[in-house]
């Protein structure tokens, strides 16, 4: 079965600093990978997805992620953190007979300090 591991349940950065949220996956087939963001008391919103096209994927709100097969990683980055980026971020991999069943990591809470 496919799985994802998010390193660090909490990450704290200063406003304007680089954001790096780590995700490693395990998959026996070419994976489709996703990053979702969850704001307090909200549902999950898609940030970006990798579906075997370009390895560097750009998403909303200035986020991007790079698929590295050799490292089985799909880390999320943003050059300059904004206060509004404070939220919980989830990495996910798709699996299942129909390929659209998502398996989520444990999540990383991002705190942005002023």
Q: Around 106, how many Cα atoms within 13 Å sit in the side-chain half-sphere? A: 8
Minimum distance from CB of 114 to other proteins (Å)? 27
Q: In the complex with other proteins, which residue's Cβ is closer, 6 or 73? A: 6
Residue-level length of the chain:
114
**Residue 16 in 3-state DSSP?**
coil
Q: In the complex with other proteins, which residue's Cβ is closer, 23 or 81? A: 23
Nearest to 108 by CA among 1, 20, 17, 16: 20
Nearest to 51 by CA among 94, 109, 4, 98: 94
Minimum distance from CB of 60 to other proteins (Å)? 12
Q: In the complex with other proteins, which residue's Cβ is closer, 68 or 101? A: 101
Minimum distance from CB of 93 to other proteins (Å)? 12
Structure tokens at 38: 């969850």
Q: In the complex with other proteins, which residue's Cβ is closer, 24 or 104? A: 104
Residues of the shown chain interacting with other proteins in the complex, contacts defined by CB under 8 A: 32, 34, 36, 41-46, 49, 51-52, 90, 94, 96-107
């Amino acid at each position: 079965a496919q799985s994802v591991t998010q390193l660090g349940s909490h990450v704290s950065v200063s406003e304007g600093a680089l954001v790096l949220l780590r995700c490693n996956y395990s998959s026996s087939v070419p994976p489709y990978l996703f990053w979702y963001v969850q704001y307090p008391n909200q549902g999950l919103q898609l940030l970006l997805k990798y579906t075997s096209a370009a390895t560097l994927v750009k998403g909303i709100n200035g986020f991007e992620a790079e698929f590295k097969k050799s490292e089985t990683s799909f880390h999320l980055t943003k050059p300059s953190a904004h206060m509004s980026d404070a939220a919980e971020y989830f990495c996910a991999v798709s699996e299942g007979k129909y390929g659209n069943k998502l398996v989520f990591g444990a999540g990383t809470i991002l705190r942005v300090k002023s």
